[in-house]
């Protein structure tokens, strides 16, 4: 299901369209004195309530669209619409639900006002996020197919077909159709002129006419022409929508044309297409689109007149649209008849070309990297790995590459042997060059780590020294180790830097293994702290928040001032990630609080707005939310009660002892759908994830339940079965289907997982 919301300054045009559509049916009214009222009476009520506030977004026009081929009867569709309005915050507003049957997919229109009875505007901040979460909730409840989650997967929302617009609702039907298509195109593409916009809307039967007044003011007119004798009159752009007027569009076009990124995108395309021409001996003109899509990831549409190809139009990933002529004479098809003008010649790669040899080198290089990352038994540095491998070792990764398969398909059968020989001859050359390159990089990296350690110790970021070997914690957290007055990488003896520290003991509680990913993240963090550059915080990923869990002995010795800087930056990076993860479940601003509260984060209202804090960081550590998010949260009715309500959730987590980062980490792994790791943590490490129940249930249904069952079945020994039985009800709370007796047993059960009595009194004041 796809829900779409458009905000309007007046409602008469919307109501004329919604009620005027042929074959429409009113499913019901919301918050009206009776269901037996006239359309005119409802319109008056809606108009007068909306006029109580001067906002330009007085009214909301909502469409709920089912996937093609799926059906809901009137009663079910009305119930779904009512629940949608409740979840979106319109539950107490007057509204009407009208069903139309003029498209191939079933849909309803809902018209309401954003102004409440006392004249206050209902908060529409983050309405997109709330809409997406509500869609997901209703799709699951009513058994509908999920809507596309990625923006690029969505097609233009054509709710009305032009052929059906010519009747009693002629004007309004045309207007709303134009709004839908033009808005979709202007969001998808960075249009730079009216001429370009005219080409983009042509497939949708829209015609555009540009005008200019005596004073030089630019105007635009829109109309429909389905080429079958049905044509509408032209409508002024400002009548269609204020943002679709000539002057407003001209500002958008000028901004896109002046963008500093435009020349960069054009230059990139020139290089990509030029590289393609250099690789091929011949290309069938009608196969050029497929070649560019597979080889360069470029979307093009061939311009054809009769049987003659006139060129192509590029729909770039940047949003810009380029014509072949615009990119320059050097890339025009007519100027490359040696490639495109050989009659019925097949699309064929030139294996004698320089570009082909470069492609072979690239594919072998990529295969080395892929093989190294995939190897579970890898020991040592990449340069050492490369030096010991032959073609047979990396061949599986090489042949699995999409680019390799593309090359193989475009080589004639009688040249396949030459293709294989080219790979065999090129392999040792690439291996030697890559080994030299990686060796140089590794030396520079080790020297950089040495300098970083010096800066860390000089600034006193950690309270570590050679006494007792505590500085070894720092070495390990940066992926290096100290031996015989030299600093080495932890997994190799190939490179070293002289460091005279004498005989340095290693603490007995040193971790045996640390993740290279966390080592890299720790390196970025410490660079940020040593250079005093807060902008470097953008490099941190959400995993930076879990560094104290991975390197506990090091971070417990962190200086308080630096600790607070670290926690602030890590909190910001995790917050942004969590907001993206929460989006499908966040139906309203209150959900923003509850989703974070379940994870152990809470919010306070300060002088500078909302601040987020957590049970995993110091109470003084906080991060101020962006202004827009602050406005969104401030729209909550009875905000003070909502803020106070956080205390029960947070204190509940503290009382149960779930203030360990492992609890948050388990939930983090669950959100990333790494279910095998989550199952291990639940069944073996007895770690319960800090996540809201709805999110846990979603992941249980998506595959975690089956993964947990498999994990439990693998515990076959008597001792393992005893441990498993001991944790049965804790795991059952995730598996679901608990009856009342099990619920009571679970709540009263006490073991290492649920006995939090020793943590009494560790509440927190919000």
The 3-state DSSP class for residue 465 equals coil
Four-residue CA torsion sign, 618, 620, 626, 630: positive
Residues 319-336 pLDDT 10s: 999 998 888 888 888 888
Statement: residue 653 has pLDDT above 50: yes
pLDDT of residue 651: 94
- The predicted structure's pLDDT at residue 230: 67
For the residues 25-45, what does the mean pLDDT come to?
91
C-alpha 638/C-alpha 632 separation (Å) is 14
CA distance 172 to 174: 5
Residue 424 is predicted with a pLDDT of: 95
Pairing mode of beta strands 623-624, 609-614: antiparallel
Judge whether residue 27 has pLDDT over 90. Answer: yes
Looking at mean pLDDT, say which of 267-276, 578-587, 742-751 comes out highest. 267-276
| Strand-pair category, 95-100 with 25-30 | antiparallel
The DSSP secondary structure of 386-428, one letter per residue, reads HHT--HHHHHHHHHH-HHHHHHHHTS-GGGHHHHHHHHHHHHH
Work out the pLDDT band at 229, boundaries 50, 70, 90: low
Residue 93, SS3 per DSSP: coil
Report the pLDDT value the prediction gives residue 534, as an integer from 0 to 100: 53
Q: Band the pLDDT of 739: cuts 50, 70, 90.
A: very low
What does the pLDDT average to over 124-130?
73
Could you tell me the domains of the chain? 2-154 (3.30.930.30), 163-258 (no CATH), 261-349 (no CATH), 354-439 (no CATH), 462-555 (no CATH), 560-655 (no CATH), 661-759 (no CATH)
Within 10 angstroms of residue 595's Cβ, the number of other Cβ atoms is: 22
Q: What is the pLDDT of residue 20?
A: 86
Question: What pLDDT sits at residue 151?
Answer: 44
Mean pLDDT of 10-16: 87
With contact defined as beta carbons under 8 Å apart, do 610 and 592 qualify?
A: no
Identify the sign of the CA torsion 142, 144, 146, 148. Answer: negative
CA distance 445 to 452: 10
Q: pLDDT (tens digit, 9 = 90+) per residue, 458-508?
A: 999 999 876 777 899 999 999 999 988 899 999 899 999 998 877 777 787
Tens digits of residue pLDDT in 284-305: 988 999 999 999 999 999 988 7
Q: Which tokens sit at 109?
A: 């229109």
207 contact partners, CB below 8 Å, separation of at least 6: 198, 222, 223, 224, 225, 234
Task: Please provide the DSSP assignment of 548-561 as one string.
Answer: HHHSHHHHTTB-HH
> For 99-108, 350-359, 441-450, which range has the lowest pLDDT when averaged over its residues?
99-108
List alpha helices for 229-353, DSSP H.
Answer: 237-240, 246-258, 261-279, 288-296, 324-327, 337-340
Bigger pLDDT: 216 vs 3: 3
What pLDDT is stored for residue 379 in this prediction?
73
Is the pLDDT at 156 greater than 50? The verdict is no
Q: Is the pLDDT of residue 649 over 90?
A: yes
462 forms bridges with which residues in the sheet? 558
CB 580 within 8 A of CB 672: no
């Amino acid at each position: 299901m796809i829900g779409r919301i458009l905000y309007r300054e007046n409602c008469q045009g919307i109501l004329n369209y919604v009620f005027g559509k042929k074959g429409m049916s009113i499913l019901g009214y919301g918050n009206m004195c009776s269901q037996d009222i006239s359309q005119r009476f409802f319109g008056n009520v809606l108009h007068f309530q909306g006029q109580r506030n001067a906002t330009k977004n007085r009214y909301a026009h909502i469409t709920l669209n089912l996937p093609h081929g799926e059906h809901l009867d009137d009663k079910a569709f009305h119930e779904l619409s009512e629940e949608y309005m409740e979840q979106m915050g319109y539950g107490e507003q007057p509204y009407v639900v009208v069903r139309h049957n003029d498209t191939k997919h079933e849909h309803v229109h809902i018209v309401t006002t954003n102004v409440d009875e006392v004249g206050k505007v209902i908060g529409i901040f983050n309405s997109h996020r709330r809409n997406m979460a509500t869609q997901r909730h209703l799709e699951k409840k009513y058994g509908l197919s999920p809507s596309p989650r990625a923006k690029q997967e969505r097609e233009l929302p054509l709710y009305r077909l032009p052929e059906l617009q010519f009747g009693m609702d002629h004007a309004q039907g045309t207007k709303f159709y134009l709004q839908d298509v033009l808005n979709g195109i202007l969001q998808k593409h960075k249009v730079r002129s009216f001429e370009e916009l005219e080409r983009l809307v042509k497939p949708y039967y829209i015609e555009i006419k540009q005008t200019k007044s005596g004073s030089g003011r630019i105007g635009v007119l829109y109309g429909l022409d389905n080429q079958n004798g049905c044509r509408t009159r032209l409508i002024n752009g400002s009548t269609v929508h204020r943002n679709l007027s000539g002057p407003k569009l001209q500002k958008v076009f000028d901004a896109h044309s002046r963008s500093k990124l435009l020349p960069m995108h054009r230059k990139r395309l020139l290089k990509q297409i030029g590289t393609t021409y250099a690789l091929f001996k011949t290309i069938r003109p009608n196969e050029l689109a497929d070649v560019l899509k597979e080889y360069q990831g470029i979307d093009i549409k061939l311009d054809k007149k009769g049987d003659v190809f006139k060129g192509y139009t590029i729909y770039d990933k940047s949003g810009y649209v380029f014509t072949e002529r615009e990119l320059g004479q050097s890339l025009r098809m007519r100027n490359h008849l040696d490639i495109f003008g050989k009659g019925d010649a097949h699309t064929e790669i030139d294996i004698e070309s320089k570009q082909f040899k470069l492609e072979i080198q690239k594919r072998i290089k990529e295969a080395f990297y892929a093989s190294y990352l995939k190897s579970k038994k890898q020991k040592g540095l990449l340069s050492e790995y490369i030096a010991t491998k032959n073609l047979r070792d990396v061949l599986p990764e090489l042949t699995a590459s999409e680019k390799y398969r593309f090359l193989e398909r475009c080589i004639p059968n009688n040249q396949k042997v030459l293709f294989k020989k080219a790979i065999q001859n090129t392999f040792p050359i690439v291996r030697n060059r890559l080994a030299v390159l990686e060796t140089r990089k590794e030396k520079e990296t080790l020297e950089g780590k040495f300098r970083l350690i010096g800066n860390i110790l000089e600034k006193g970021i950690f309270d570590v020294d050679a006494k007792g070997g505590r500085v070894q914690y720092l070495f390990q957290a940066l992926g290096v180790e100290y031996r015989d007055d030299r600093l080495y990488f932890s997994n190799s003896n190939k490179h070293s830097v002289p460091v005279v520290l004498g005989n340095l003991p290693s603490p007995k509680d040193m971790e045996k293994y640390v993740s290279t990913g966390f080592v890299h993240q720790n390196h970025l963090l410490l660079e940020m702290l040593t250079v005093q550059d807060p902008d470097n915080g953008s490099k941190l990923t959400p995993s930076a928040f879990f560094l104290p869990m991975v390197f506990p002995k090091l971070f417990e010795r962190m200086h308080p001032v630096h600790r607070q800087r670290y926690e602030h930056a890590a909190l910001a990076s995790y917050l942004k990630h969590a907001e993206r993860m929460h989006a499908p479940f966040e139906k309203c601003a209150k959900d923003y609080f509850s989703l974070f509260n379940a994870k152990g984060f809470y919010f306070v209202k300060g002088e500078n707005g909302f601040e987020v804090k957590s049970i995993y960081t110091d109470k003084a550590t906080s991060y101020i939310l962006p202004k827009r998010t602050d406005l969104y949260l401030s729209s909550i009715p009875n905000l003070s009660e909502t803020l106070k309500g956080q205390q029960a959730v947070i204190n509940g987590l503290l009382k149960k002892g779930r203030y360990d980062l492992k609890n948050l980490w388990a939930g983090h792994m669950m959100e990333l759908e790494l279910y095998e790791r989550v199952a291990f943590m639940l069944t073996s490490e007895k770690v319960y994830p800090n996540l809201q129940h709805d999110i846990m249930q979603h992941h249980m249904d998506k595959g975690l339940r089956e993964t947990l069952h498999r994990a439990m079945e693998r515990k076959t020994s008597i001792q393992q079965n005893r441990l498993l039985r001991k944790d049965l009800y804790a795991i059952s709370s995730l598996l679901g289907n608990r009856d009342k007796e099990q619920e009571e047993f679970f709540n009263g059960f006490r073991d290492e997982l649920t006995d939090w009595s020793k943590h009494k009194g560790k509440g927190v004041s919000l």
